[in-house]
Structure 1
Amino acid sequence: MKLIFLDIDGVLVTTNSLTPSDKYFGHTFDKTCVQNLNEILNFTGAKIVISSSWREGRTLVQLQSIFKANGLEDCVIGVTPSFNGETIRGAEIKAYIDSFDGIESFVIIDDEESMGNFESFLIETDFRTGITKSVKNEVIRRLMINPTV
């Protein structure tokens, strides 16, 4: 299985979409970022694991509902464990990977976090633009070359 470890703020929520909306449990996602992520998912067959701080205080079902309300259906399969900010996000991702069998390839899409030993899997976004066409192309390239986990 191909996995995308996904941050939300600065990746799907950008300066273009910072309008609070109770309907979507917070901020709506940037429509261009959603379109680019849907293209990634459709092309690669990848699934999403939420590594964002949005996973804290929300259930997996709530996160799936937020994604569905923003045009991303049936793509979120899990969340990384939270070590309460005591460690870098890369360690939380490693803990998820260690507990999950069958990963062919993965990438991390994030706008600011340190990934430690997983730095080479990071595709960094800009908070202003999130998942752009160039980020989309890089994610697809990396997921399809099947890097060793």
Structure 2
Amino acid sequence: MGEFKRDFKMKVKILFLDIDGVLNSKLYYKYIYKPENGWSRFDPYCVVLIKRLIEEFSLRIVITSTWRNGIVDRLMRELEENDLVYHLHKDWHTPIIRPANRGIEIKLWLDDHPEATEFLIIDDNENLLEYQMNRFVKTNNYAGMAQEHYNQARNILLSEKEYLMLPNLVIEQ
């Protein structure tokens, strides 16, 4: 007869994070951002909201933004200046596929990381797979991450029905 064992591998909660329209916005660039002052390209208000989520729910960031394609130095500098780099997952970005499809890129990343038992997606575009939509917060590129998006993300992460995860049962024969 088989013996039951619980598989208690390290579980990780992931925040799939876009940059443009989430951490920065047209509003910030138009009225506030001044590059000559050496200011961050990320809107400080948006950053605070993201950091609150990360700290409250122990999230690890995986970047989905096109910033991961060619401006990695600038991306890392911005993440570091805003104290976000320390929250990156060790495999910190989704794979790049052509033609680009954010939902498939997220699925491929999740397929390679079974330890990622919970996830949240924050993006200003809806280029996702159907099963990902109930874990998605859509921001808008004019204002970026706002209080309403923070509240929505928090509700998703607090939802026991969606996020009640038990250890996998492994049956040895």
2:125 matched to which residue of 1? 112
- Structure 1 SS opposite 2:116: coil
Query: Is 1:100 matched up with 2:113?
Result: yes
User: Aligned residues: percent identity?
Assistant: 28
2:53 matched to which residue of 1? 40
d(CA) in 2 for partners of 1:121, 1:2: 12
d(CA) in 2 for partners of 1:62, 1:99: 27
d(CA) in 2 for partners of 1:93, 1:65: 24
1:2 Cα deviation after fit: 0.9
TM-score with structure 2 setting the length? 0.73
1:62 Cα deviation after fit: 5.8
Bigger radius of gyration, 1 or 2? 2
TM-score with structure 1 setting the length? 0.84
2:146 matched to which residue of 1? 132
1:67 matched to which residue of 2? 79
1:128 Cα deviation after fit: 1.6
Given the superposition, is the C-alpha separation of residues 83 and 20 from structure 1 closer, same or farther in structure 2, using an over 3 Å criterion?
farther
Greater RCO (CA < 8 Å, at least 6 residues apart): 2
Instruction: Indicate the RMSD between aligned Cα atoms, in angstroms.
Output: 2.3
Give unpaired runs (5+ residues) of structure 2. Answer: 1-11, 166-173
Given the superposition, is the C-alpha separation of residues 134 and 144 from structure 1 closer, same or farther in structure 2, using an over 3 Å criterion?
same
Indicate if the aligned counterparts of 1:64 and 1:74 stay in contact, CA closer than 8 A. Answer: no
1:2 matched to which residue of 2? 13
Which of residues 123, 129, 144 in structure 1 aligns to 2:158?
A: 144
1:139 Cα deviation after fit: 1.3
